[in-house]
Amino acid sequence: MTGGGRYPGAVTSPRPPGQPVELPDLWRDSRLTVVVPTYNEVGNVPRLLDRLLALPLPGLRVIIVDDNSPDGTGEVADKLAEENPGRVTVAHRARKEGLGRAYVDGLGRALASGAAFVAQMDADLSHPPEALPSLLGTLLSTRAGVVIGSRYVPGGQLDEDWPLYRRALSGWANFYVHTLLSVRIRDLTAGFKVWRADVLRDIGLDRVRSNGYSFQVEMHYLATLLGHTIIEVPIRFEERTSGASKMTTRTKFESAVMPFRIRWKHRTLAAGQRPSSDHNRG
């Protein structure tokens, strides 16, 4: 399942969404760390962790990255970490700096802890934790560098309660970024995925500058420019039932402007020229 040339693009896996798949014993024990940024998700974090820790993945660990949530999310996460020593850790950040900065922090911590695979997912339960074994199994059975849980490949679904304006905004954002960056991924703004640790090191988290939802776009763009294969598998995307969306006017503006900045910033890579320092990353 690989593409050709410098732009391998994305490959769609036919595996449908559903209950957790049972992986072979060797794969089940893989060192997988799930990074979950939080801000005012006090009602969702306990439910998310219950579902994550119930997965048939004994090697799974979770890092909660909390941006000093005023609703007490960080304190609740600390209590859950105490109840699950060795499996759940919490990183407390001094203030809210955006999704991208929280992910860079959490992904860096996951790599430093020795994770072989690193997952990203939202705290609001829009991403089904039960799909993680499928994403990990697809990664391990292919040469993919990252596997995305996708809303927009055959078999992918959107919750019927997801507002029409959010559907239109998501569809437009994907079309807009496709046009500007020429990345062959159907769900370019997806935030649910599993990476190989060596691919994250190759990307180099220190060079990722996007914040908000454009962070996802920049990561996918860099993975493509560096020649890593991306596979999309279908998931059902659920509407949150607790808490409020973090989509703001400022976030929308940044997401509109950032693709131009991303293309300019990484123009050397787009031309097929790796900076010499890239060979020494990791």
How far apart (Å, rounded) are the C-alpha atoms in residues 150 and 188? 9
Instruction: Provide the pLDDT confidence category of residue 22 given band limits of 50, 70 and 90.
Output: confident
pLDDT for 251: 58
How far apart (Å, rounded) are the C-alpha atoms in residues 14 and 24? 19
pLDDT tens profile 156-212:
877 666 667 666 666 677 777 778 888 889 998 899 999 999 999 999 999 898 887
> 16-270: CATH homologous superfamily?
Spore Coat Polysaccharide Biosynthesis Protein SpsA; Chain A (3.90.550.10)
The proportion of the chain whose per-residue pLDDT surpasses 90, expressed as a percent, equals: 58
DSSP string, 242-278: SS-----HHHHHHHHHHHHHHHHHTHHHHTT---GGG
How far apart (Å, rounded) are the C-alpha atoms in residues 215 and 197? 18
Rg (CA), the chain: 18
pLDDT for 280: 39
**3-class DSSP state of 33:** strand
pLDDT for 82: 98
What's the mean per-residue pLDDT of the chain?
84
Residue 23 has pLDDT above 60, yes or no: yes
CB 148 within 8 A of CB 226: no
pLDDT tens profile 71-97:
999 999 999 999 999 999 999 999 888
pTM equals 0.84
What is the average per-residue pLDDT within 93-121?
Answer: 95
CB 220 within 8 A of CB 199: no
Q: Which position has the higher pLDDT, 23 or 8?
A: 23
What is the average per-residue pLDDT within 21-27?
Answer: 89
Residue 273 has pLDDT above 90, yes or no: no
